[in-house]
Amino acid sequence: MPAATRIGVAGIGVTSPLGDTLDGNWQRLVAGHGAVARLACQGLPDIAAAQVTEDVSQVLTRLQQVGTERVSQMALGAVRKALGDAGIGAWPDPERVGLYLGTGMGGAATMDAGFAALYGGGRLPPLTVPAGMVNGAAAVVAIHADIRGPVLTYAVACASGSVALAEAAHALRRGEIDIAICGGVEAPLARGTIAAWQALRTLAPPDEADAARSCRPFAANRAGLVLGEGAAFFVLRREADLPAAPRAWLSGSAVRCDALHLTNPQVRGQVSTLKAALNASGLTPPDIGYCNAHGTATVAGDPVECEALREVWGEHAARLRVSSTKAAHGHLLGAGGALEAALTVMALQSGVLPATLGVDALDARCAGLAHVLGEAQRAPGLRHAISNSFAFGGTNAVLVFSRA
Amino acid sequence: MSTLDHLTRLIHDKFGVDTAAIDADAPFASYDLDSLTVAELMFEIDDAFHVTVPDEAATSVKTLRELATLIDGLSAKA
């Protein structure tokens, strides 16, 4: 790793099921008020899902909305919030600004609606390709924010947002750009996409007693993941270019692949990613005070992640505080890693750890870690924290953040 | 309502363009309708006027008056 170019988090913007501001997201999360609810979908069983309630189309005029869709509108809105948070409105050299955007499914709703029209005997709208293409959101952001450096889309399923942050930091360290705008976006709550996830039998049904508790990571009675939508973006800068103290440092990261199975997570790859991320950060397991886990609440995934953490943390595992915030905001797929990174930064800034909601009894296979359950915990000495993203396709990404 | 008035109303309703800005004899771009927006407009016209605008119209038709004339011709044949 190049010598000590620290990368600071200059700003964060979110558009999430937990709300339209980062502070609002955090307060709601720490208060234990999740955003998962029952969602009816024509011709399909009801699902549990976490929706954005903000009118995201308002970021563009109706004329500007031509060729855009929900995913690009959410991305642009969150990017504008991040730039506002960083106190940046314009830049002298747009070619020194890069956009690193993660999304698993891009304009899925546009493709869904287009094919539904076609197969129903109707006409396919002419802008189905530009609105639906996976880099459509990045293009819309670049146009409206005047980003003329690298504008890249990372489609790495559930690790997309984390990979985008990691790659953006590398580009800053390499000196390719001066300002990195990076994060993730996903808008998967369209009928065909929901049906595809249902067909994979990974979705939790809505909890009959309390739909808000449908996603139960690490719980003995967990029943699967809950889809969410939203966007989270960061403005990253090199330490020397920061105009003010950053929210936190992105101390390091690692990206590795299991190379074993399309969907089943594997301990081997997660262990190597965790170790590599710590190494890249110059930190050791006992330095890490909090892990924002991938924790999707699938039967297969959670025990593997916990085993990987136990293996890397060894004798320190029982003191590693762990939670999955997906219980509150759902699984934002390509945006998940970015939103969870934002919440990890908030944990560092506030010295408070959000709890995994909805867990009555922990799965014994997830034990051996200091799970934060029930209520948020104070952690005033927290200095370093990690955020895990372990994707379908086998790609694993771990981000390490440090208190500024 | 004339075809031209109908088109002006359609552009206003769908894209939020001020009707006063729409000059029927000026290029679409003069009131910010780019090629993608014109393609979208042509798609809407098929439903609104019950005609089938040929694909090449998206590039060959340059102004709203030309478009109105085309639609009137297609309607007369229908």
Q: Is A195 on the interface with B (CB under 8 A)?
A: no
pLDDT for B31 beyond 90: yes
Contact A126 B46 (CB under 8 A): no
pLDDT for A385 beyond 70: yes
Which residue in B30, B37, B41, B56 has the most chain A C-beta atoms within 10 A of its own C-beta, making it the best mutation to test that interface?
Answer: B37
Which whole number is the average pLDDT over B16-36?
Answer: 96
Q: Is A66 on the interface with B (CB under 8 A)?
A: yes
- Domain B3-77: state its class: mainly alpha
Q: Render A206-257 in DSSP notation, one character per residue.
A: PPSS-GGG---TTBTT---B-EE-EEEEEEEEEGGG-SS--SEEEEEEEEEE
Q: How far is B2 from chain A (nearest CA, A)?
A: 24
pLDDT for A336 beyond 50: yes
Question: What are the chain B neighbours of A67 within 8 Å (beta carbons)?
Answer: 36, 40
Q: What is the pTM of this model?
A: 0.96
Which residue in B10, B14, B42, B59 has the most chain A C-beta atoms within 10 A of its own C-beta, making it the best mutation to test that interface?
Answer: B14
pLDDT digits 0-9 by tens, A159-196? 999 999 999 999 999 999 999 999 999 999 999 999 99
Query: pLDDT-derived band of residue B55, with 50, 70 and 90 as boundaries?
Result: confident
Contact B36 A67 (CB under 8 A): yes
pLDDT digits 0-9 by tens, A277-292? 999 999 999 999 999 9
pLDDT digits 0-9 by tens, A139-163? 999 999 999 999 999 999 999 999 9
pLDDT of residue A232: 98
pLDDT of residue A1: 42
Question: What are the chain A neighbours of B36 within 8 Å (beta carbons)?
Answer: 66-67, 126-127, 130
pLDDT of residue B76: 87
pLDDT of residue A4: 72
pLDDT of residue A2: 44
Q: Give residue limits of the domains in chain B.
A: 3-77
Cα(B36)–Cα(B57) distance, integer angstroms? 13
Question: What are the chain B neighbours of A127 within 8 Å (beta carbons)?
Answer: 36, 39-40
Q: Token pair of A147, please?
A: 């980003």
pLDDT for A58 beyond 50: yes
Closest C-alpha among A147, A151, A152, A132 to residue A72: A132
Task: Report chain A's mean pLDDT, rounded to a whole number.
Answer: 97
pLDDT of residue B58: 82
Q: How far is CA A362 from CA A210, A374, B18, in A?
A: 19, 11, 60
Which whole number is the average pLDDT over A337-362?
Answer: 98
Percentage above 90 pLDDT, chain A: 98
Contact B40 A123 (CB under 8 A): no
Contact B16 A61 (CB under 8 A): yes
Contact B36 A61 (CB under 8 A): no
pLDDT of residue A296: 98
pLDDT of residue A256: 98
pLDDT of residue A236: 98
pLDDT of residue B59: 85
Nearest to A63 among B37, B46, B58 (CB): B37
A:B CB pairs within 8 Å? 31
pLDDT digits 0-9 by tens, A222-238? 999 999 999 999 999 99
Which whole number is the average pLDDT over A380-384?
Answer: 96
Q: How far is A386 from chain B (nearest CA, A)?
A: 43
Q: How far is A138 from chain B (nearest CA, A)?
A: 18
Contact B43 A126 (CB under 8 A): yes
Nearest CA in chain A to B55: A126
pLDDT of residue A316: 98
Look at phi and psi of residue A259 and say left if phi exceeds 0, alpha if psi is from -120 to 50, else beta. Answer: left
Question: What are the chain B neighbours of A62 within 8 Å (beta carbons)?
Answer: 14-16
Nearest to B15 among A62, A125, A126 (CB): A62
pLDDT of residue A215: 98
pLDDT for A10 beyond 60: yes
Nearest to A127 among B17, B33, B39 (CB): B39
Query: Residues A113, A190: contact at Cβ < 8 Å?
Result: yes
Query: Residues A229, A74: contact at Cβ < 8 Å?
Result: yes
Closest C-alpha among A103, A49, A94 to residue A76: A103
Percentage above 70 pLDDT, chain A: 99
Contact B16 A66 (CB under 8 A): no
Q: How far is A144 from chain B (nearest CA, A)?
A: 15
DSSP structure class, residue A44: E
The one catalytic residue among A215, A291, A329, A331: A331
Query: Residues A239, A8: contact at Cβ < 8 Å?
Result: yes
Q: How far is A115 from chain B (nearest CA, A)?
A: 16
A44-50 and A36-41 strand pairing: antiparallel
Cα(A251)–Cα(A402) distance, integer angstroms? 6
Chain position carrying tokens 């929706």 = A51
Query: pLDDT-derived band of residue A35, with 50, 70 and 90 as boundaries?
Result: very high
pLDDT for A125 beyond 70: yes
pLDDT for A22 beyond 50: yes
Nearest CA in chain B to A64: B15
pLDDT of residue A345: 98
Contact A127 B36 (CB under 8 A): yes
Contact B14 A62 (CB under 8 A): yes
Strand partners, A367: none
Q: Residues with Cβ < 8 Å from A386, sequence gap 6 or more? A: A274, A277, A288, A290, A291, A292, A344, A398, A399, A400, A401
Taking residue B30's Cβ as centre, other Cβ atoms within 10 Å add up to 12
Query: pLDDT-derived band of residue A207, with 50, 70 and 90 as boundaries?
Result: very high
Chain position carrying tokens 């924790």 = A295
Task: Report chain B's mean pLDDT, rounded to a whole number.
Answer: 93
Range scoring the smallest mean pLDDT among A73-87, A313-327, A340-354, B50-64 = B50-64
Check the CA dihedral A344-A347-A350-A355 and report its sign: positive
